Structure 1
Amino acid sequence: MTVENSADAAAELGAIAHEYWEATLDAHPIYASFLGYHDYDDRADDLSAEHEHEKRRLWSQLRGRVQAVPEGQLGETDQITRDLLIGELDDAIRSVDMRLTEIASDQMQGAHAGLLMLGGQLQAPEPEHARMAVSRIGELARMLDQAAQRYRDGAAAGRTPARINVSRSRRQVESYLASPLESDPFVNLNGPSDWDGEEQWRADMTDAVRDILRPAFSRYRDVFANDLEPIARSDDRPGLVHLPDGEELYQTLIQQHTGLALEADDLHQIGLEEATKTIRAEFAEVGERVFGTSNVREIFDRLLTDTSLRYGSSDEILAHAKTCLDKATTAMDSWFGIRPQAPCELTPVPDYLAADVPPAYYTPPSADGNRPGEYHVNLHEPTERGRFQTASIAYHEAIPGHHLQLAISTERTDLPSFRRLSLGHNAFIEGWGLYSERLAEEMGLYEDDLDRLGMLASDAWRACRLVVDTGLHARGWTRQQAIDFMAENAPMDTDTISVEVDRYIGMPGQALSYKVGQREILEQRARAKATLGSRFDIKGFHDAVLGAATISLPVLRRRVAAWMAR
């Protein structure tokens, strides 16, 4: 198409954005179903290298077309769309070029982990979708087989996985396989209501899961046990720096997860400054009020060992989390002009995942409105869970954190779908979550200084991530070095630290996004306050940050600058 005027430019950009989104759904049909696009309910992702290269050709073609659209002929909203398209297409191309699928076998992003996390949240609202879901079972089995082969290919090329990630992934699959068939999330898929064919459909699903899907999970498990674990990297060599192309790979992942061209050494030093000095001083101040001591080690020990600060049951955890959600929901009006329509519901993490995932996580509402936002709370070993953590985590994951952010994004139906529904731009998403923990203090949501210690604990935890992630993947740290640094600088129990460090080992660069994004939002807020003075409006600032849906940090800078200029 020849672009001759602004109308042509906007039309061409809109066509490219639509084509890109359709191609994204085609590449990720399980995610499409999760969003509510039920035409994909009989399909699963194609993880073959051949399919990836087909998609790369398309991404490259689309990238060239976007670049040819003159930015000067676009309005502000379309300029943002153009920038985001270029960034996402560049990331997609780099992902194929760096063969990232080969190293994604860990307990958080492995093919099995995505299925087990999303399996209980998929829906089949109509009989046609339910029948398609039965057909999908065979496709899921094919996907697991493909994933296992890609992991073997990576190992054969010298990209051996870390043994701790192989072990955790294998344990997740074994836990799923040991669970009763009648409680299987795929057998219990949420199907149509008042449907005459439900009984036969349930029987068909049960047969398919028993005879096709579970055997595929068994084959997948065997690859981890027999092919990967014997050659996996030891706990002394868990980082990417130990792989042949590890340095380049890590730099690519830093760029993908932060959206910025940052150096590992700089991030390491920022983390050290915050974790060992700035936040530590805050701990001393608040700890003196709570425990009568400013000794940070003593404060950490009290938080971790005082049994009176722990829960007595899983019901207590859920009740506390609900109280936090209710308070935050009530307080929103004074701090946000834009608020989501979708509710945020509280739900426990499934038992078969609980031992190997973080204390909580959030999943956004579906595009079709059939599924609300969900705040998943981990109830594993409740009597070992400290009360001080619950509030800050709730405000990060739910309200005013990810639910506010991602539900607003989902509901911006005037924007291209890839902007509303993409889960890219990690630094913006996780940076907002971490920013929300400090914002909750300004909103008066923390009940007492114990909650504030929880806020500091979460902030210290994320500052430690800058140090540990770069330590592991750029400096060659051992797993134990990472664990020791976390234990010294954040009040976290041994099991939680192990889960976290193993997550950083398996998802290089992802942990950087929290602090990088939080610091960027705080920097933009400080700049806006300094520029606007008495005209600064916190609701307006938050609407500027959240109102354009999910964006990159460079686009955030543009958004705030444009808001200040109005």
Structure 2
Amino acid sequence: MEKKTRAAGARLPACLFVCLLSAAGLATPATAATAAVARPASRPAAGPDDARFKAIYTQEWKWRLTQRLEDDEDDDSGVRPDLPHVDPATQHARLAYWQDVLKKLDGITPARLSAPERINYAVYRAQIAALVAGQRFREYEKPLNADTAFWSNMADDGRKHFTTEKEYRDYLKQLADVPRYFAEETANMRAGLARGFTPPRVTLVGRDSSLTSVTEAATPQDTVFYTPFKVMPATIPAATQQVLRDAAAQAIATSVQPAYRALLAFMRTQYVPNAREALAAESLPDGKAYYQSKIVEFTTTALSAEQIHQIGLDEMAKIRAEMQATIAQTGFQGELPAFLHFLRTDPRFYAKTPEELLMRAAWIAKKFDGKAGQYFGYLPRRRFAITPVPADQAPFYTSGRGGPGVYLVNTYDLPSRALYSLPALTLHESAPGHAFQMPVAQEQKGLPPFRQAYISAFGEGWALYSERLGTEMGIYETPYETFGMLSYQAWRAARLVVDTGIHAKGWTRAQAQAYLHDNTALSEHEIETEVDRYISWPGQALSYYLGEMAIINARKKAEAALGARFDIRHFHDTVLQLGSVPLPVLEARIDAFIADGGKSPYPPQP
């Protein structure tokens, strides 16, 4: 176990666990709520304070659904008949609403809540605070980055499969609403452009390719939006199917494609040429406060950029030592730079076809299945598919991405997709990472719907911990695969250095790329796309390693306190049963787990 935990074993600064969201003015109530989780002997039963708190979040969630800011799990209609409203009046109303919610939360004393509602309070207050911060900084005026954009998110509906005539007709209404929606988003982008609130220009180069796949399609039937109409369920009469197909072609030709063409022209002639050149988030309007708000949002801590930068440097030094030991196991004669060049250029480490890459990913996922019962007591019911990243997104997409029901593998530019890194990637994105953790969270009963929201520090921290866990589970079969895992650990530790370097220390794009090149085995293509992602998405890259450190520290604490009573399955079940929570809530829950003798959070099976 020492080898598995060494790189992330250092204790984090104490403020990680006691300064929850203090930068947003929320430290006192949040820490009171999280601390209470660890005092099982003093937990009150549900009372009037629970009722007041539940009324606040129940009302707000219903309103949030009307704003189209979340999916309604109780709505089985399949597809919305319209797109969200994002105009300034709507945005100002949202800010005022959430500010009022925070005032109401100030009237709640966490210590008077029952134990479950104390956890809910800590999660909910952090969530509302992040929403308020986003509105205050008018992030809606920058609805794109190097990774995703509002139009690519919308196109995802085009890849769905509908089952009823109503779903098809609602989808047709949504297509007709595209011009209005794009006009509102474009107006927001103009406002951001006017005040210098844009992604850096260098990160936008070539990102219009996902627009041209629609604008340059020979016919409406060649666009992604027509996909649901190509194969329709037999329960819909043939004549009706033809009517729906004709309507879809008409809507795409008269609404969707013209809106895309207008947006493409705006991007090419106005937005990209006039986007800001500076890279740092701190160079944006009120930039220092803005970047700190992103640190709070994505790490659930009040650590400063300087503190995070130093943590990254310290952890990189530890991982470098592990790398050197692993290189020696391969028998390679040479230093780290030569070994990295060898890994990037030797054809044995790369798939020859997309199918080979997909099949290797599937094999690794099944290897985990054979180990799952030894490390987890609760297994999610939902399975996941392994599919390639859509071609229109692949050139600028990450190497993989996972979630409920899917593990996306990027088969674009195969010489950039190293097989020695595939085991770590698969554990991170599929199981026991995202495609495992998220369904477990969804299957927990009795949690309010806002608990389904994704908290990056927890979710990404768990996925990175899953990569380390692969060593213990015996997933890595060669020193090269172990090195691939260490390279991925170094990649996430490097993000602490690079993200803060870019956004708070004046690093250049070339400097950030060089740091990843010298310290990881990532390909040049991956390095370029990753650095652009960090530049255009401040703070998100900080989630991973700080989250992993919190989980590893919690495990080490439980192992030391429980000794022979420690059961890894009970620990993992306890962590995952939480869903997705701020890191201080995680630590407090493990304190309660220890106080309870390390028992499983689930009732015993008959």
Q: TM-score, length-normalised on structure 2?
A: 0.86
Other-structure match for 2:383: 343
Name the CA distance, whole Å, in 2 between partners of 1:450 and 1:127: 52
Q: Please say if residues 196 and 275 of structure 2, whose CA atoms lie closer than 8 Å, have aligned partners that are also in contact.
A: no
Q: CA deviation at 1:492?
A: 1.4
Q: Please say if residues 159 and 225 of structure 2, whose CA atoms lie closer than 8 Å, have aligned partners that are also in contact.
A: no
- Match of residue 44, structure 1, among 74, 83, 95: 83
Q: Please say if residues 354 and 380 of structure 1, whose CA atoms lie closer than 8 Å, have aligned partners that are also in contact.
A: yes
- Match of residue 115, structure 2, among 70, 76, 83: 76
Distance 1:417 1:427, change over 3 A: same
- Match of residue 443, structure 1, among 470, 473, 476: 473
The answer to whether 1:466 aligns with 2:496 is yes
Distance 1:123 1:90, change over 3 A: farther
Distance 1:147 1:341, change over 3 A: same
Q: Please say if residues 178 and 255 of structure 2, whose CA atoms lie closer than 8 Å, have aligned partners that are also in contact.
A: no
The answer to whether 1:504 aligns with 2:534 is yes
Q: CA deviation at 1:352?
A: 0.5
Q: CA deviation at 1:564?
A: 0.9
- Match of residue 136, structure 1, among 174, 189, 194: 174
The answer to whether 1:491 aligns with 2:530 is no
Over residues 181-240 of structure 1, what are the superposed CA-to-partner deviations in whole Å (9 max), with x where a residue is unaligned? 434332113765521233322222222122211211221122211112222233xx3222
Q: Please say if residues 108 and 114 of structure 1, whose CA atoms lie closer than 8 Å, have aligned partners that are also in contact.
A: no
User: Aligned partner of 2:574: which letter?
Assistant: A
Distance 1:378 1:231, change over 3 A: same
User: Aligned partner of 1:28: which letter?
Assistant: R
C-alpha RMSD over aligned residues? 2.1
Name the CA distance, whole Å, in 1 between partners of 2:342 and 2:75: 46
Aligned length: 548
Name the CA distance, whole Å, in 1 between partners of 2:283 and 2:141: 16
Give secondary structure in 2 for the equivalent of 1:186.
Answer: helix
The answer to whether 1:325 aligns with 2:365 is yes
Q: Please say if residues 166 and 224 of structure 1, whose CA atoms lie closer than 8 Å, have aligned partners that are also in contact.
A: no
Other-structure match for 1:299: 339
Q: CA deviation at 1:34?
A: 9.4
Other-structure match for 1:97: 136
Q: CA deviation at 1:120?
A: 4.3
Q: Please say if residues 469 and 511 of structure 1, whose CA atoms lie closer than 8 Å, have aligned partners that are also in contact.
A: yes
Give secondary structure in 2 for the equivalent of 1:38.
Answer: coil
User: Aligned partner of 1:315: which letter?
Assistant: E
Name the CA distance, whole Å, in 2 between partners of 1:534 and 1:141: 63
Name the CA distance, whole Å, in 2 between partners of 1:123 and 1:317: 26
Q: Please say if residues 119 and 185 of structure 1, whose CA atoms lie closer than 8 Å, have aligned partners that are also in contact.
A: no
Q: Please say if residues 375 and 397 of structure 1, whose CA atoms lie closer than 8 Å, have aligned partners that are also in contact.
A: yes
Give secondary structure in 1 for the equivalent of 2:205.
Answer: helix
Q: Please say if residues 465 and 551 of structure 2, whose CA atoms lie closer than 8 Å, have aligned partners that are also in contact.
A: yes
1:103-502 aligned within 5 A: 103-116=142-155, 118-179=156-217, 181-189=220-228, 194-196=235-237, 197-234=240-277, 237-275=278-316, 277-293=317-333, 295-364=335-404, 373-420=405-452, 422-423=453-454, 425-502=455-532
Give secondary structure in 2 for the equivalent of 1:355.
Answer: helix
Distance 1:474 1:287, change over 3 A: same
Other-structure match for 1:368: none
Q: CA deviation at 1:347?
A: 0.9
Q: Please say if residues 430 and 514 of structure 1, whose CA atoms lie closer than 8 Å, have aligned partners that are also in contact.
A: yes
Q: Which moved more, 1:405-414 or 1:342-351?
A: 405-414
- Match of residue 98, structure 2, among 32, 42, 59: 59
Q: Please say if residues 98 and 249 of structure 1, whose CA atoms lie closer than 8 Å, have aligned partners that are also in contact.
A: yes
Give secondary structure in 1 for the equivalent of 2:269.
Answer: helix
Q: CA deviation at 1:317?
A: 0.3
Give secondary structure in 2 for the equivalent of 1:492.
Answer: coil
Distance 1:105 1:555, change over 3 A: same
Over residues 103-152 of structure 1, what are the superposed CA-to-partner deviations in whole Å (9 max), with x where a residue is unaligned? 33223242123223x23444433322221111011323322221221111
The answer to whether 1:20 aligns with 2:50 is no
User: Aligned partner of 2:100: which letter?
Assistant: Q
User: Aligned partner of 1:238: which letter?
Assistant: L
- Match of residue 532, structure 1, among 562, 567, 578: 562
Distance 1:363 1:218, change over 3 A: farther
Distance 1:20 1:409, change over 3 A: farther
Q: TM-score, length-normalised on structure 1?
A: 0.92
Name the CA distance, whole Å, in 1 between partners of 2:242 and 2:56: 44
Gaps of 5+ in 2: 1-43, 597-606
Give secondary structure in 2 for the equivalent of 1:288.
Answer: helix
Q: CA deviation at 1:444?
A: 1.3
Q: CA deviation at 1:37?
A: 5.0
User: Aligned partner of 1:268: which letter?
Assistant: H
Q: Please say if residues 130 and 192 of structure 1, whose CA atoms lie closer than 8 Å, have aligned partners that are also in contact.
A: no
The answer to whether 1:564 aligns with 2:569 is no
Q: CA deviation at 1:549?
A: 1.2
Give secondary structure in 2 for the equivalent of 1:352.
Answer: coil
Give secondary structure in 2 for the equivalent of 1:189.
Answer: helix
User: Aligned partner of 2:255: which letter?
Assistant: I
Name the CA distance, whole Å, in 2 between partners of 1:503 and 1:555: 29
The answer to whether 1:545 aligns with 2:575 is yes
Other-structure match for 1:521: 551
Give secondary structure in 1 for the equivalent of 2:477.
Answer: coil
Distance 1:411 1:198, change over 3 A: farther
Distance 1:101 1:402, change over 3 A: same
Task: Identify which of structures 1 and 2 has the higher relative contact order when contacts are C-alpha pairs closer than 8 Å and 6+ apart.
Answer: 2
Q: CA deviation at 1:11?
A: 3.2
